[in-house]
Amino acid sequence: MIKIPPEYKKGFTLFLGSKIDLSKKVLIPRIETEYWVKKALKEIKENIKKDEDLKFLDIFAGSGCIGISTLKKIKNSHVDFIDIESGAVSQIKKNLKLNKISKERYNVYLSSFFNKLEKKKKDISVKYDVIFANPPYVAEERIAEVGLSVLEYEPLKALFSGKKGLKHIRKFLGSAQGFLKKNGKIYLEFDPLQVPEIKKILKENDYKKAKFYKDQFKKYRFAKIEI
């Protein structure tokens, strides 16, 4: 019998000190994600101007752990959350309430990529200082490398992304520039094997600058991207 992940058994996990409910069986936040989010938020806080209001987007949000950490760690922050799954949207709202986040500081959207924001753009300017993206990025051809408990219990749509695992990353990077403020930044998580392909995608889409970073296991895991 394949064991249920302990986080699902408990019904929650901790992410940068926040309690993250997992009752809707969204993807369990990974320690690699926690590692880079901690670094990113530290860097953002060090460069923030006094009383500056910053607007963030947490896309492919899942449990909402990245955006919730942002709201709790950065004082004058507003976060929009996007996920394509209605269960994830419910989970995000539950976690925002659980962590006592004021409703004025966030919006939660059920949307495929930027579709809902594209509609909003007709009425107001939708631009962000920072976009956090942790998309599905596991290559379908590498399914044999994925743990059995993950395949049995976690949402596969949140993991797999076509050949080479780049389907979501390619589509995301093709549109994200239009939603960034001047000097805005993207923090993107990916598979270490994808670095060469991501560099090509960034070049194809005229991104000016990108720096790639390793996780706590010395594997390239996230990038800071600028337009």
Q: For residue 45, what pLDDT is reported?
A: 93
Report the interhelical angle of 167-175 vs 195-204 (nearest 10°): 30
Taking only the tens place, the pLDDT of each residue in 173-222 is: 999 999 999 999 999 999 999 999 999 999 999 999 999 999 999 999 99
Is 83 in contact with 89 (CB distance < 8 Å)? yes
CA distance 68 to 77: 10
Q: For residue 117, what pLDDT is reported?
A: 84
Taking only the tens place, the pLDDT of each residue in 71-87 is: 999 989 999 999 999 99
Task: At 126, list the tokens.
Answer: 């939708």
What percent of the chain has a predicted confidence (pLDDT) above 90?
A: 88
pTM: 0.95
CA distance 99 to 84: 22
Continuous segment of H or E residues that includes residue 45: helix 31-47
Taking only the tens place, the pLDDT of each residue in 157-172 is: 999 999 999 999 999 9
Between 46-50, 110-114, 194-198, 208-212, the lowest mean confidence (pLDDT) is in: 46-50
- Domains, the chain, with CATH or none: 6-226 (3.40.50.150)
Phi-psi region of 100 (alpha: psi -120 to 50; beta: other; left: phi over 0): left
CA distance 166 to 139: 7
Taking only the tens place, the pLDDT of each residue in 51-62 is: 788 999 999 999
Q: Please give the mean pLDDT across all residues of the chain.
A: 94
Between 6-15, 36-45, 110-119, 188-197, the lowest mean confidence (pLDDT) is in: 110-119
CA dihedral 92, 140, 187, 17 (to 10 degrees): 40
What percent of the chain has a predicted confidence (pLDDT) above 70?
A: 97
When pLDDT is averaged across residues 124-150 and rounded to a whole number, the result is 91
CA dihedral 151, 146, 37, 118 (to 10 degrees): -60
Is 62 in contact with 95 (CB distance < 8 Å)? no
Closest CA to 88 of 25, 15, 29: 25
